[in-house]
Amino acid sequence: MRVLITGAAGFLGSHLCDRFLAEGHEVIGVDNLITGSIANLEHLAGNEKFLFIKHDVTNYIFIEGPVDAVLHFASPASPNDYLRYPIPTLKVGALGTHKALGLAMEKGARFLLASTSEVYGDPLIHPQTEDYWGNVNPIGPRGVYDEAKRFAEALTMAYQRYHDLDTRIVRIFNTYGPRMQKEDGRVVPNFIAQALRGDDVTIYGDGSRTRSFCYVSDLVDGIYRLLMSNEREPVNIGNPTEMTILQFAEKIIELTDSKSKITFIEPTDMRIKDDPKVRQPDITKARQTLQWEPKVSLDDGLNAAIAYFRPLI
């Protein structure tokens, strides 16, 4: 296949480029580099099956020749980024999705949208299943990301229903691994950086909030399987093993062999407003329709992430 990936220089986008190239496909990577890094793609320089185009996908996307699949991963994804770029986040969720869907229509390509567990907001059911509509604050600071993704899902389904476009939607839960930004603002790079420096590992609140962490290679495998499947409704991809943020901080300190202490901070930061109290995917659908479930253990995945961050700290 000839595959186009928006957000190709980002954490997930760059790993997707690697996977599709490893499977023998041609890849066109598109990114405007406001949060992505060309360093994530440097290892692909000279690869005849890879083409990079610097472009803002909120504008018309012109590609010569055939395209068999469009994977729309362009978007700021961390609280630091989408609070720094609130309007570009909304624009790439709305205009960018519209332009990417238009390209898929023009080329007769299959379309896959990168959505997020944030469409569930601060959930009132646990774990979260795909038929849950969510509990989202549309005017809170996180609403720029949550609602951009919810709108992108609605637009994707409209193209499926009214234009008969072949579409897929993946709802991505917390994912980690090499190529995350050091100053990402999310818990994995934050805790690893603090532990490696020997600083206090800081937790907002009392540490009782929960998350479920999926290693990037597992996530990419789930996305690849979804694209190749016949499933046209949203699918959760993530690791269902849930733990508290306090337990996660203790795990990071153990694996880094750090002398760091854990401290607790009152959650007054804008990034924490409307932060979900729990997050755990129900992956029954992925297991049944994709024969997918995560394989990488938390210790193995975190050791790989720590090895990546160590020379950067």
Looking at residue 272, its pLDDT comes to 61
Looking at residue 183, its pLDDT comes to 80
Q: How many C-beta neighbours within 10 Å does residue 230 have? A: 7
Same domain, 247 and 144: no
Examine residue 275 and state whether it is found in any structural domain, yes or no.
yes
In the predicted model, what is the mean pLDDT of residues 33-43?
97
Nearest to 166 by CA among 116, 258, 232: 232
In the predicted model, what is the mean pLDDT of residues 87-94?
98
pLDDT in tens, 230-274: 999 999 999 999 999 999 999 999 999 999 999 998 876 655 667
Examine residue 248 and state whether it is found in any structural domain, yes or no.
yes
Which positions ≥6 away from 90 have C-beta within 8 Å?
A: 144, 147, 148
In the predicted model, what is the mean pLDDT of residues 20-41?
98
In the predicted model, what is the mean pLDDT of residues 198-217?
95
Looking at residue 172, its pLDDT comes to 98
**Is 80's pLDDT higher than 70?**
yes
Looking at residue 43, its pLDDT comes to 98
Examine residue 83 and state whether it is found in any structural domain, yes or no.
yes
The residue segments making up the domain with residue 114 are 2-176+215-239+283-290
Looking at residue 89, its pLDDT comes to 98
Same domain, 146 and 64: yes
**Which CATH number covers residue 206?**
3.90.25.10
Same domain, 246 and 98: no
How far, CA to CA in Å, does 162 sit from each of 20, 154, 157, 158, 167? 29, 12, 8, 6, 12
Q: Percent of the chain having pLDDT more than 90?
A: 93
What is the reported pTM?
0.96
Q: Could you tell me where the DSSP H helices lie in the chain?
A: 11-22, 79-84, 86-91, 97-107, 143-163, 187-197, 216-228, 245-256, 284-290, 298-309
Please pick, among 82, 120, 145, 224, the residue that the annotation labels catalytic.
145
**Is 220's pLDDT higher than 70?**
yes
How far, CA to CA in Å, does 199 sit from each of 54, 57, 177, 260, 303? 37, 39, 21, 6, 19
Examine residue 191 and state whether it is found in any structural domain, yes or no.
yes
The per-residue DSSP string of 25-64 comes to -EEEEEE--SS--GGGGGGGTT-TTEEEEE--TTS-----
Q: What are phi and psi of 145, to 5 degrees?
A: -85, -50
Looking at residue 270, its pLDDT comes to 56
pLDDT in tens, 270-311: 556 677 889 999 999 999 999 999 999 999 999 999 999 999
The total number of structural domains in the chain stands at: 2
204 is annotated as an active-site residue: no
In the predicted model, what is the mean pLDDT of residues 107-111?
98
**Is 168's pLDDT higher than 90?**
yes
